[in-house]
Structure 1
Amino acid sequence: MPSALKKAALIALKLAVAGALIWLIARNADLTAVWTRLAQIDRGAFALGVAAMFGFCLVMALRWRMLSAAAGQPIGGVRSALLYLEALSFNLVLPGSVGGEVVRVWRTTKLFGGLRRNIAVVLAERVANVGTLALVNVGLWSVLLAAGSVEGLLALAGVTALALAAAPGLRTMLRLLAPYRRRRTPREVFRFGWLVRRRFLKPRVLAAFLLYCALAYAMAAGAIAAALAAAGATSPGPGALAAVALAALLGSSIPLSIAGLGFREGAMVAALGWFGVAQDAALAAALLFTAMLLLQAAPGLAIWLSGRNGGRPAPPAPYAAD
């Protein structure tokens, strides 16, 4: 099968997966009630949610900047934010969830050189992020579902396994980085991260990474609270919002649809339902949260179209390149 046809088939398949998941989520909901909530949203609360998602993106950009500095390649604060916003727009519109990673590697290599180092940083960030989300979700929801059903625990295990499948999916990033190499095996991919193991596996770097993760998850929880308020629903407590945010972010990491569409909304509706939020309110909030994500990516698209993504290449670093 020609490459272009394979890509078209993959996009069609992932759109079909997203559509099927949305249908499964919505089939038992009162769609009239959902539409009523969406038609009467609180615009102020929705704007606060969009602002919270911009904060989420800024924290993620700072986390990437910190890891890049730990690998020996500092990136300016403004430049890292512009590059991350640009990459985010690709993550949300391309099939899978690695398009933004490709863009970040490409841009930073063009600016600074050091392709292996840039790949290692992005791989380390992506794998550590998904791994952290998976471990925290398993621990948290195992406790919450302890009084529930075995089926709930099995469903959580399945979702976690799908999220962890994102790591092998990063091979796509390397295949797109022509003319570096046509293909890389998983062992060769993770060898890049191993090149800078002594830089990342330090208590200071790990503590900073976890702190940035906590701040980002708090921003996402705030956006979900704003989505619930915009939909006219009563928000559960801060702890419940944190659990819902973790589930939604884990769903977004599953690379089997377009930008996690369907998995994210399903995780949100199920998690909110666990904390007593009505299904129509949960679905309306999930759709508003997705809209916030899309609006969060709009500036990145404008940055890409304008070409103002960090200025001219920086001068060579004073240390040896990899």
Structure 2
Amino acid sequence: MTSETLEREHSRPQSKWRYLFRLAPPVIIIGLLWSLADGPSALARLTDADWRYLIPAFAAVNLQTIASAWRWHRVAARLGQAIPPRRAVAEYYLSQLVNQSLPGGVLGDAARAVRARHEAGLGIAAKAVIIERLAGQIAMFGLLALAGTWAILTPGGLTLAVDQNQLLIGMLAFMVLALVVYVGLRFARKKRSARLGQSIRTALVANGAWFEQSLLSAAIVALNLASFTLCALATGTVLGLEAVLVLVPLILCAMLVPATVAGWGFREGAAAGLFPLVGATAAAGFAASLAFGLVILAASLPGLFVLFRPNIIRRPS
């Protein structure tokens, strides 16, 4: 995703047929899950969700948004773009709201880069947005690699419990994850073609940036995992440490698939397919993922305040 791509995503008109095409996959997948993963049971879990867990899950998502905005602020600063922290937080909330509302998952980020172009040009603004998002993906995949290795090598590690009745759902999860890998590889090729290497080193590695970025990314990943785990608790599922460190990142990675709206459908398919691996039901995974999606949607609503109060993100004259 280059600066030209970001500008094109922000400026080109989006036909209603394109929107409908992007809306089809989550609707179809959730419809299939309703049948395969005992939808009525998942809905019962969701309606009986414990607010004592949903409230801290909501707080964790908001903290994650603020921390991500700070990471963007610091990445931009190292690339020579000055974005005040208050404006960075407001912009990030607005970006999250757009990404939660429209297909594709990048329109909010594209608009954020375009609005921030005045400080240092669209090229630097686009790189700051891309690198900040890339830092989050590196952290999540890094955790997944470390936790997966630990679970495999530890005696008595992650114990999987699978029966034949759950095979079809597991296959669905496998296809979702395979698609995520495919999208990730294409994303990496675009990064190479954009020649971002030097900017990535400047923003994430050089002059002590690696330490600051590692702390920020670790905190953001921990808040994401905590929020999903709390949503699972709210809907009646207790996840062990290994499940949190291995399965939850896999579920969250399904949200990277761009052919959907904010990960809906693909995330639920991954959760329904992976929860049985640790002895929970597919319905439990379905319910936990639905709760998590609703919490994220609710946590993006402060973006409405920013939308109707544009002076918050207006550059000082």
Match 1:129 to one of 116, 136, 150:
136
2:187 aligned partner: 167
* Residue 277 (structure 1) aligned with residue 298 (structure 2): no
Match 1:47 to one of 55, 65, 71:
55
1:223 aligned partner: 227
- State the Cα RMSD in Å: 3.1
Secondary structure of 1:260's aligned partner = coil
CA contact (8 A) 1:163 1:251 kept: no
Deviation at 1:82, TM superposition (A): 0.9
1:88 aligned partner: 96
- Taking the aligned partners of 1:274 and 1:207, their CA distance within structure 2 comes to 35
The 5-angstrom pairing of residues 61-80 of structure 1 reads: 61-80=69-88
- Taking the aligned partners of 1:52 and 1:311, their CA distance within structure 2 comes to 27
- Taking the aligned partners of 1:28 and 1:187, their CA distance within structure 2 comes to 38
1:175 aligned partner: none
Q: Which moved more, 1:124-133 or 1:56-65?
A: 124-133
Give identity over the alignment, percent: 22
Going from structure 1 to structure 2, the CA distance change for 1:237 and 1:196 (only over 3 Å counts) comes to same
- Taking the aligned partners of 2:69 and 2:241, their CA distance within structure 1 comes to 25
The residue type equivalent to 1:64 in the other structure is W
Task: Please list every run of 5 or more consecutive structure 2 residues that lacks an aligned counterpart in the other structure.
Answer: 1-11, 154-158, 163-169
Q: Which moved more, 1:201-210 or 1:60-69?
A: 201-210
The residue type equivalent to 1:81 in the other structure is V
Match 2:294 to one of 291, 296, 301:
291
Secondary structure of 2:218's aligned partner = helix
Match 1:158 to one of 169, 178, 196:
178
- Taking the aligned partners of 2:40 and 2:201, their CA distance within structure 1 comes to 56
Task: Please list every run of 5 or more consecutive structure 1 residues that lacks an aligned counterpart in the other structure.
Answer: 170-185, 315-322
Secondary structure of 1:276's aligned partner = coil
1:310 aligned partner: 313
Going from structure 1 to structure 2, the CA distance change for 1:135 and 1:197 (only over 3 Å counts) comes to closer
Going from structure 1 to structure 2, the CA distance change for 1:197 and 1:217 (only over 3 Å counts) comes to closer
- Taking the aligned partners of 1:261 and 1:162, their CA distance within structure 2 comes to 18
Q: CA deviation digits over 1:108-137, x for unaligned, max 9?
A: 124x24221111111222334334434544
Secondary structure of 1:236's aligned partner = coil
The residue type equivalent to 2:179 in the other structure is V
The residue type equivalent to 1:306 in the other structure is R
Going from structure 1 to structure 2, the CA distance change for 1:89 and 1:25 (only over 3 Å counts) comes to same
Q: Which moved more, 1:123-132 or 1:274-283?
A: 123-132
The 5-angstrom pairing of residues 189-204 of structure 1 reads: 190-191=194-195, 193-194=196-197, 196-200=199-203, 201-202=205-206, 204=208
The residue type equivalent to 1:220 in the other structure is N
Match 2:209 to one of 201, 205, 212:
205
CA contact (8 A) 1:82 1:303 kept: yes
Q: CA deviation digits over 1:159-213, x for unaligned, max 9?
A: 33244167389xxxxxxxxxxxxxxxx589613x346355234262233223222
The number of aligned residues is: 291
The residue type equivalent to 1:73 in the other structure is Q
CA contact (8 A) 2:135 2:217 kept: no
Going from structure 1 to structure 2, the CA distance change for 1:86 and 1:45 (only over 3 Å counts) comes to same
TM-score with structure 1 setting the length: 0.78
Going from structure 1 to structure 2, the CA distance change for 1:159 and 1:258 (only over 3 Å counts) comes to same
2:126 aligned partner: 119
* Residue 99 (structure 1) aligned with residue 103 (structure 2): no
- Taking the aligned partners of 1:252 and 1:46, their CA distance within structure 2 comes to 20
Q: CA deviation digits over 1:244-277, x for unaligned, max 9?
A: 3312321111111112211112222333222222
Deviation at 1:300, TM superposition (A): 0.8
Deviation at 1:89, TM superposition (A): 0.7
